[in-house]
Chains A and B, each alone.
Chain A
C-alpha cells in the first residue's frame, strides 16, 4: 500500500512532512514539475473538495504519463467551474460533451488514439475520464458499465460529493442515508435521505472484473497519488472513486474539507481500498476508529440527527453501516481487532 513506513508525522496531523522525505518520495503536488493541470482562477467554492481532488488526480496522471494524456469531463460542478470561457483552467487537451456520456466519449478518444498509434501518427497517449457522482453512478452508469465491460483503455475518476451539487444539491444514488438534500428534505417522520437505497459503485466496478478499482479521499494526498499512478500502470478499464466533501452541499466550513474527508475514512463511513481484477488487494487501515457522530456532526446536512432530541436510531443505523464497511473492507489492522 501507499503508506510510508516512516513515522515523521507533523504534530497533530497524519501528514508526512515532505522535508523529511527523499525527493523521489515526495508528492507530485510538492514537486516543482507539477503541471497545475487544473490551474488557479477557476470558480469553485472556497474549500471545494472536488477542485482539490481533480487537481491532485490529474496532476498525478500527467506525471505518470509524461504529460501525454487527454481528459474527458462529464457535465457537473467541475466542468462548469473550470471552463467559464474564454477562461479555462485546463492546461491539457480537455473535452466536455454531455452529462451522461463521459465514459463513452473516452472510449472513442481511446479508440482514435489507438488507431493513430497504429498508423504511426502518434506515440502513446492515455485517456482519463472524470465526472461527479451523479454523472457517474446515475445518468452515466450505462456508459460506465459498457466501458468497463468492454475493458476499454480508459481511467475513469468519480468525484463523489454525495449529490447533484451543480444543480443545487439534489439527491443522487451516492447520497448517504439520512443526509438532507434539496430533494430529500429534513422534514417529516423520516427526515433526510432514506435508508436502504443507493449504490456503492466501486463494488459494482469490481464486479466487472476490470484490472483496477480503488477508492480514495482528498484527505490523503499521497494515497490518492499512489492510486492514480498505479492505475496508469494498467491497460484497460480502471476506476477511482474519490470522496470529495462539498462545503456548500454538506453545510460544512470551507476549512474543514480535509478534516471531514479524513473523518469519513477514520469512522469507516467511506472505505478506502484497492482491488485488482475483482479481488480486494489492500485497504487503508483506520488508525483510531472514531464513532460516526464525529463525521456527521460538523455537517449541516445531518443537523436534524442532533437536535434537542438526537435521532439515536438513525445514528445507530449509520454506525452499523460503518461497522459493516470496516468488516467487509478489512479497515482495521488484524492486531487491533
Chain B
C-alpha cells in the first residue's frame, strides 16, 4: 500500500510485517522514532505475540537480542552512533555466536565532539564485526531491506545491520509502498533456527576456543560472508519477483554504459549523485554512478564486473579512517587490484554537512580533468583549520580544539552578519 510516511515509521511498519518475537528498545537520535513506532504497535496488540523490552542500555539491548535469538525468537533492535559503540562487545558476540538478529542503524556521527547528525562513522566502525551491513538509498529501500534482512540473516544464521542515513532518511516524509502481511508471510517463513536453547535437546553455546581451532572458526565466519554474496542477489531477485521492485542486492549501477568516470558511494547521497551525473551527462561527460548496497560482505567481484573499462573512480564516503584515509576507497582498490585505473578518495558529509549538487558538480568536473588529489575533503574550510593549527603552534595551552573552531566559525558568522546590516 502506498503511504506518505516518515522513514522511521516505514521501517517500523516493515519490521512489524516481519512478525518479530522480541524487540529491544533504547532511545538515541535519529533512531528513536522506529522503536517508538514498534512499541506502540506491540502495546496496541498489532504485533502479537511479541515482547517489547525497554532495556537500560544499548549493551543490554544487544544482549537481550542475543538471548532471545539463541532461544529461538526472531529478534530486532535499532540504534545509532554512541549507542552502537556502547553495544560493541555484544555486537561482535552476536555474530560470533551466529545469531540472526536484525538491527537498524540510523547512521549518525560519533563523538567527541558529540554530534547527532548523519555520517557513516557508526556503521563503518563495525565493518569487521562479522555483521552483514546493507545501506539503503531511499526510504523505500530501507523498508524493503528489513524484509530481506530477516530472510538473509535466518538463512545464514548471521546478524544483519540495515543502515539508513539519520535524519536524511529516518525523518524524511516520502512515499513508501508497504507490502501486505500476506506478501511478507509468503516471502519470509517463520524462523527455524540452526541452534536453539531447548530443554528437549540440551546444547552448550558459547564455549572457549583456543589456538587449535580459532583460525578455522574465523575462516568459517568469513566463508559465511562469502555465501552471503551469493544469497543476497538471489533474495533481491526473489523480492523483485514477489514485490515488483528493485531493492537490495550487492551493487547498483547508474548510467555506467561507456562511462570513463564512475562515482562510488553508499546510502542516500546516491540520489544527489545521480542528479549531478545526469547534468554532467547532458554536458557530454561520460560518467556514471555505482551504489554499494552491501558494504559487508564487500562485493569485490560485483564491483570489478561493474567497472571493467572505467578510467577513473571517485569513491565518495561519509567516513574515513583517521590517520589512514577512505575505507570504502581501500576496499574498492583491493577489489580492482593493479588494473583499476585512478582512484580518488573523497570524504564528504561528515557530521551532517550537506553534500550539495553544486559541490559535487565542482568535484566531479575536477575529477574528470584529473585535477583531484588522492584524498579530498569536500568543502573543507582550510582557513579555519589553518587558524587552529597556528594557534596550537603558538600556544602550549591552546585549549579544546572543537570549541576554538566553533568560536572562530561563529565569530566569523557574526562579523559577516554585521557587514550585511
CB proximity of A116 to chain B, nearest CB, Å: 6
List residues 73-88 of chain B with CB under 8 A from any CB of chain A: 73, 75
Complex: how many Å from CA A116 to CA B208? 29
CB proximity of A106 to chain B, nearest CB, Å: 6
CB-defined contacts of A93 to chain B, threshold 8 Å: 197-199, 201-203
Contact status A112-B71, CB under 8 Å: yes
Complex: how many Å from CA A125 to CA B65? 18
C-beta contact mask, B193-219 vs A, less than 8 Å → 1, else 0? Answer: 000011101111111110000000000
Contact status A149-B56, CB under 8 Å: yes
CB-defined contacts of B201 to chain A, threshold 8 Å: 93
Contact status B202-A115, CB under 8 Å: no
B interface residues, how many (CB within 8 angstroms): 42
A70-B71 CB under 8 A given contacts A96-B206, A97-B93, A97-B97: yes
Residue of A nearest to B195 (CB): A95
Complex: how many Å from CA A111 to CA B63? 12
Contact status A98-B89, CB under 8 Å: yes
Complex: how many Å from CA A70 to CA B66? 14
Contact status B202-A106, CB under 8 Å: no
C-beta contact mask, A142-155 vs B, less than 8 Å → 1, else 0? Answer: 11011001101000
Check if B68 is an interface residue, CB within 8 A of chain A: yes
Check if A101 is an interface residue, CB within 8 A of chain B: yes
Q: Which of B64, B90, B202, B208 contacts A84 (CB 8 A)?
A: B208
Q: Which of B53, B67, B199, B202 contacts A105 (CB 8 A)?
A: B67
Check if B55 is an interface residue, CB within 8 A of chain A: yes
Check if A91 is an interface residue, CB within 8 A of chain B: yes
A95-B205 CB under 8 A given contacts A107-B53, A108-B75, A111-B73: yes
Known pairs A93-B197, A142-B60, A143-B60. 19 more at Cβ < 8 A?
A: A67-B199, A93-B199, A94-B203, A94-B204, A95-B70, A95-B204, A106-B67, A108-B66, A109-B197, A111-B21, A111-B22, A114-B51, A115-B49, A115-B51, A116-B71, A116-B72, A118-B48, A146-B57, A146-B60
Q: Which 4 A-B pairs have the closest CB atoms?
A: A108-B67, A146-B56, A112-B73, A104-B63
C-beta contact mask, B19-37 vs A, less than 8 Å → 1, else 0? Answer: 0011010000000000000
Check if B139 is an interface residue, CB within 8 A of chain A: no
CB proximity of A294 to chain B, nearest CB, Å: 38
Contact status B63-A101, CB under 8 Å: yes
Complex: how many Å from CA A109 to CA B199? 13
CB proximity of B391 to chain A, nearest CB, Å: 40
CB-defined contacts of B243 to chain A, threshold 8 Å: none
CB proximity of A324 to chain B, nearest CB, Å: 31
Residue in A73, A83, A95, A113 whose Cβ sees the most chain B Cβ within 10 Å: A95
Complex: how many Å from CA A110 to CA B203? 17
A111-B68 CB under 8 A given contacts A69-B199, A88-B204, A90-B202: yes
Contact status B197-A96, CB under 8 Å: no
Complex: how many Å from CA A150 to CA B26? 14
Check if A72 is an interface residue, CB within 8 A of chain B: yes
Contact status B56-A101, CB under 8 Å: no
Complex: how many Å from CA A98 to CA B99? 14
Contact status A98-B72, CB under 8 Å: no
Complex: how many Å from CA A106 to CA B67? 6
Can you list 25 A-B pairs, Cβ within 8 angstroms, ordered by A?
A: A68-B199, A84-B207, A85-B204, A92-B199, A93-B201, A93-B203, A97-B67, A97-B97, A101-B59, A101-B60, A104-B64, A105-B63, A106-B67, A107-B53, A107-B64, A108-B68, A111-B51, A111-B64, A111-B67, A111-B68, A115-B50, A118-B48, A118-B49, A143-B57, A150-B53
A105-B73 CB under 8 A given contacts A114-B51, A115-B51: no
Complex: how many Å from CA A310 to CA B63? 48
Check if A303 is an interface residue, CB within 8 A of chain B: no
CB proximity of B25 to chain A, nearest CB, Å: 12
Contact status A108-B63, CB under 8 Å: yes
Check if B181 is an interface residue, CB within 8 A of chain A: no
Contact status A85-B66, CB under 8 Å: no
A80-B21 CB under 8 A given contacts A95-B197, A108-B67, A109-B67: no
Check if A100 is an interface residue, CB within 8 A of chain B: yes
Q: Which of B21, B54, B73, B197 contacts A150 (CB 8 A)?
A: B54
CB-defined contacts of B56 to chain A, threshold 8 Å: 142-143, 145-146, 149
List residues 127-170 of chain A with CB under 8 A from any CB of chain B: 142-143, 145-146, 149-150, 152
CB-defined contacts of A107 to chain B, threshold 8 Å: 53, 55, 60, 63-64, 67
Check if B69 is an interface residue, CB within 8 A of chain A: yes
Q: Which of A92, A110, A111, A150 contacts B202 (CB 8 A)?
A: A92
CB-defined contacts of A88 to chain B, threshold 8 Å: 204, 207
Complex: how many Å from CA A119 to CA B19? 12
Complex: how many Å from CA A142 to CA B86? 13
A116-B90 CB under 8 A given contacts A93-B198, A105-B66: no
Contact status B202-A101, CB under 8 Å: no
C-beta contact mask, B162-194 vs A, less than 8 Å → 1, else 0? Answer: 000000000000000000000000000000000
CB-defined contacts of B199 to chain A, threshold 8 Å: 67-70, 92-93, 125
Q: Which of B60, B72, B90, B206 contacts A112 (CB 8 A)?
A: B72
CB proximity of A193 to chain B, nearest CB, Å: 28
CB proximity of B84 to chain A, nearest CB, Å: 16
Contact status A104-B55, CB under 8 Å: yes
Complex: how many Å from CA A98 to CA B89? 8
Contact status B67-A72, CB under 8 Å: yes
CB-defined contacts of A97 to chain B, threshold 8 Å: 63, 66-67, 90, 93, 97, 206
Q: Which of A72, A98, A106, A109 contacts B90 (CB 8 A)?
A: A98
Complex: how many Å from CA A91 to CA B70? 17
A108-B22 CB under 8 A given contacts A92-B199, A92-B202, A94-B202: yes
